[in-house]
Structure 1
Amino acid sequence: MMIRTYKAWKGSNIFLFGGRFIFGPDARSIFFSIFLIVAPVVVFCVFVARKLMDDFPNNWGISIMVVAVVITFLDIVFLLITSGRDPGIIPRNSQPPEPESYEGSIEMLPGQTPPLRLPRTKELIINGIQVKIKYCDTCMLYRPPRCSHCSICNNCVQKFDHHCPWVGQCIGQRNYRFFFMFIFCATLICIYVHGFCWVYVKRIMDSEDISIWKALIKTPASIALIIYTFVCVWFVGGLTVFHSYLISTNQSTYENFRYRYERGTNPYDKGVLSNFKEVFLSSIPPSKNNFRAKVPKEAVIAPRSLGGSFAASNRGKPMGDIEMGGKPAWDNEGNFNNGYENAELPDVSPDLSRILPPESTEERNVLNNNNIKRSSWGRRSSSWEMSPEIVSLAARIGESKRVVDGNNSNLADDAQHSQSDSKL
């Protein structure tokens, strides 16, 4: 069965319009961000810009409102582009890369294969500088240079900068320039609205010949906008300045916060002018993922069976699943408990050496020899078969147990007869 890639996607992303748009798991924050942008602009146009239209000749006053609307529109467009496109996700591997052989001395028995391992890091040379890349256990790949795994979206992102909760998406190689334009336009809106609010206050002061405090009282909308834009400009304006510095030095927020190049040379720094050209004038690499492509649906892996029956009765959960907290054990009544409630006894014979004590040294030696051979039974056949030694041993133990039980019952009968005779 074939399904779309976005339906089988293992990340935490949200897809819209048949996989044409990809968002982060916190995509609902976009609506809040849009509200924070649009609401003050609407208040500005209604209570400030509309009253300043008559103060400029040749109908130039309407341009105050037009400019505010245009910048706001561009800011929302950059927000949606940043949030709705692939930030540079690296596709996952279906299986881990081939491991390297074990390097070192280890004592191995005849017939054993040496243990294999995957190096946690590898070293690359970039512009003459040694750079380490790490192995990602989730995506089962060695991350390319400047790539990092986002714990929120659960993806490895090329040139990962950070995960922005205001746009609900990772910021990476393919949407970084749009993110910068988004915060830059937001900074322009704050400065623009803040400035024209003071212009309107000045107009009231000159027309009515009153003080600045009385003029502010006459326009409460201007007071609210002045305070709001003053607070916001420190946030978005500070981000704009900070990311301008990162672009000029060709760093990411992730690298800067980890002091990646504090003591060494940045192998990606090409100079201020070339760094800005790389971000704003270079071509954006195509996405490595085709979310609308059809891929075969992964088949559900059935639990392994032993002797024609499932190894566990709870639909494929292994006995004693450590991840789920279950611990296999034998209870006081001799029943097997695999760590889950209402679990049934599996059709797997328990190890007799663990529940029946050996009667003699010969029997103990037989049990020990069969414990060594026990691991090879499952490889020789699909069902578990007991060797003749174990069958005969179980028979002797069962017979001795019956003899003991018979003696105990005879003693009990004699005690009852003697008690009845004493009563008579």
Structure 2
Amino acid sequence: MHRSGVTMAWNVFKFCTALRGLGSVMILLVLGVVGVTYYTVVLTNYGPALYNGGLDSLIALVVLILFHCLLVMLLWSYFSVVLTDPGCVPPNWRPAVDEERGEADPLTGSDFSGLQTDPSNQRIRYCRKCNQLKPPRCHHCSVCGRCVLKMDHHCVWVVNCVGALNYKYFLLFLFYTFLETSVVTLSLLPHFISFFSEGEIPGTPSTLATTFLAFVLNLAFALSVLGFLIMHISLVAANTTTIEAYEKKTSPKWRYDLGRKKNFEQVFGMDKRYWFIPAYSEEDLRRIPALQGLEYPSRPEFNSQEF
């Protein structure tokens, strides 16, 4: 029995190590798909169409402008997720108030035994892997080897955890990826249909192959990303994460569900000018503690139950 436990721990360790090593490969894969798409849309099809004149030139201009604008936002959001730390527990962090006991004194080492881990309970938890207290909604990531604030999941596509400080950027990455892949799919659809027509198809075999590949890849990404986007929109609307949605299961009430408007603001901020860019205004960072990942307002009935 002991041997099987050791084997399982070792296998999990190797799995987590493999995920870390997979990171650079995934970034290269994303950039490779972007490169193939750019070559197909800009250099092969719609770039040359600018010189055709008439309606073809106008359509090409519109497609190219839309394509480049969405591509800039996609890459900006993507690298914001990759390069932004999702949030970790500050050194020697202690809660200002033990909300379970209603005291102002932080928990001490003698209080660690018996701490509850129920995600619907605000009581402070302790991570035995990191040997530190865990703020509300914080979870330990086995791949990163640390506790992550408001952890949603570890994403191999962005080589990073998705947490409190980069969740908005991840959602924008999904949003712009869906728009970009949809635009590419629609713009290449006539060329894809021409593959199965009886008429002569213009272009060399290599350009035809890349056009076919780009269409299939972008269609696949558009459909898959749409599913993830719908799922995460529902999570934002309920002010929960992927991990929390799994943990709370059939709980009828979620302590952090403050209504769709306030739930949205806890992820995207209140300043509408920043909603669609991977950044926050200084004012939002100052007046919305949830954006810092350490404090989260609760529903009134849960606050009244704690004292």
TM-score range, shorter chain: 0.5 to 0.7
**Quick check: 1:160–1:171 contact (8 Å CA) kept in 2?**
yes
Matched residue, 2:302: none
Counterpart CA distance in 2 for 1:251 and 1:156 is 18
Identify the match of residue 262 of structure 1 among 250, 263, 280: 250
Identify the match of residue 244 of structure 1 among 223, 233, 240: 233
Moved over 6 A (4+): none
Identify the match of residue 30 of structure 2 among 13, 30, 33: 33
Counterpart CA distance in 1 for 2:214 and 2:199 is 15
Counterpart CA distance in 2 for 1:214 and 1:62 is 29
Identify the match of residue 233 of structure 1 among 213, 217, 222: 222
CA deviation vs aligned residue, 1:75-103 (integer Å, no higher than 9, x gap): 11111111111211113449xx7332xxx
Change (3 A) 1:26 1:221: closer
1:184 aligns with 2:175: yes
Identify the match of residue 169 of structure 1 among 160, 165, 171: 160
**Quick check: 1:120–1:134 contact (8 Å CA) kept in 2?**
no
**Quick check: 1:26–1:169 contact (8 Å CA) kept in 2?**
no
**Quick check: 1:187–1:237 contact (8 Å CA) kept in 2?**
yes
Change (3 A) 1:270 1:38: farther
Matched residue, 1:222: 211
Change (3 A) 1:60 1:38: same
Matched residue, 1:121: 115
Counterpart CA distance in 2 for 1:216 and 1:139 is 65
**Quick check: 1:146–1:158 contact (8 Å CA) kept in 2?**
yes
**Quick check: 1:93–1:140 contact (8 Å CA) kept in 2?**
no
Identify the match of residue 213 of structure 1 among 194, 197, 207: 197
Matched residue, 2:132: 141
Counterpart CA distance in 1 for 2:235 and 2:293 is 24
Task: Give how far 1:225 is off.
Answer: 2.4
Matched residue, 1:64: 63
Identity of aligned residues (%): 22
Matched residue, 1:273: 261
**Quick check: 2:81–2:170 contact (8 Å CA) kept in 1?**
yes
Matched residue, 2:142: 151
Task: Give how far 1:254 is off.
Answer: 1.0
Change (3 A) 1:234 1:80: same
**Quick check: 2:192–2:212 contact (8 Å CA) kept in 1?**
no
Counterpart CA distance in 1 for 2:21 and 2:115 is 29
Change (3 A) 1:232 1:88: same
Counterpart CA distance in 1 for 2:186 and 2:293 is 41
Task: Give how far 1:142 is off.
Answer: 2.3
Matched residue, 2:298: none
Task: Give how far 1:141 is off.
Answer: 2.1
Task: Give how far 1:217 is off.
Answer: 5.5
SS at match of 2:198: helix
Change (3 A) 1:195 1:216: farther
1:99 aligns with 2:109: yes
SS at match of 1:90: coil
Change (3 A) 1:194 1:25: same
Counterpart CA distance in 2 for 1:177 and 1:146 is 16
Name structure 2 gaps, 5 residues minimum.
1-19, 94-106, 203-207, 271-283, 286-290, 295-307
CA deviation vs aligned residue, 1:377-398 (integer Å, no higher than 9, x gap): xxxxxxxxxxxxxxxxxxxxxx
Q: Which has the higher helix share?
A: 2
SS at match of 2:253: coil
Which amino acid in 2 is paired with 1:178? Y
**Quick check: 1:190–1:232 contact (8 Å CA) kept in 2?**
yes
SS at match of 1:231: helix
Change (3 A) 1:212 1:36: closer
Q: TM-score, normalised by structure 1?
A: 0.50
Change (3 A) 1:281 1:199: farther
Counterpart CA distance in 1 for 2:81 and 2:252 is 32
**Higher Cα Rg, which structure:** 1
Counterpart CA distance in 2 for 1:174 and 1:93 is 20
Which amino acid in 2 is paired with 1:213? S
RMSD: 3.2
CA deviation vs aligned residue, 1:336-357 (integer Å, no higher than 9, x gap): xxxxxxxxxxxxxxxxxxxxxx
Higher relative contact order, structure no. (Cα contacts within 8 Å, ≥ 6 residues apart):
2
**Quick check: 1:177–1:279 contact (8 Å CA) kept in 2?**
yes
Counterpart CA distance in 2 for 1:167 and 1:255 is 21
Change (3 A) 1:122 1:152: same
Q: Which has the higher strand share?
A: 1
Q: TM-score, normalised by structure 2?
A: 0.67
Aligned residues: 238
Counterpart CA distance in 2 for 1:51 and 1:217 is 16
Counterpart CA distance in 1 for 2:30 and 2:62 is 25
SS at match of 2:161: strand
Change (3 A) 1:216 1:236: farther
Counterpart CA distance in 2 for 1:98 and 1:181 is 40
**Quick check: 1:194–1:226 contact (8 Å CA) kept in 2?**
yes
Which amino acid in 2 is paired with 1:34? L
Map 1:196-211 to 2 at 5 A. Answer: 196-200=187-191
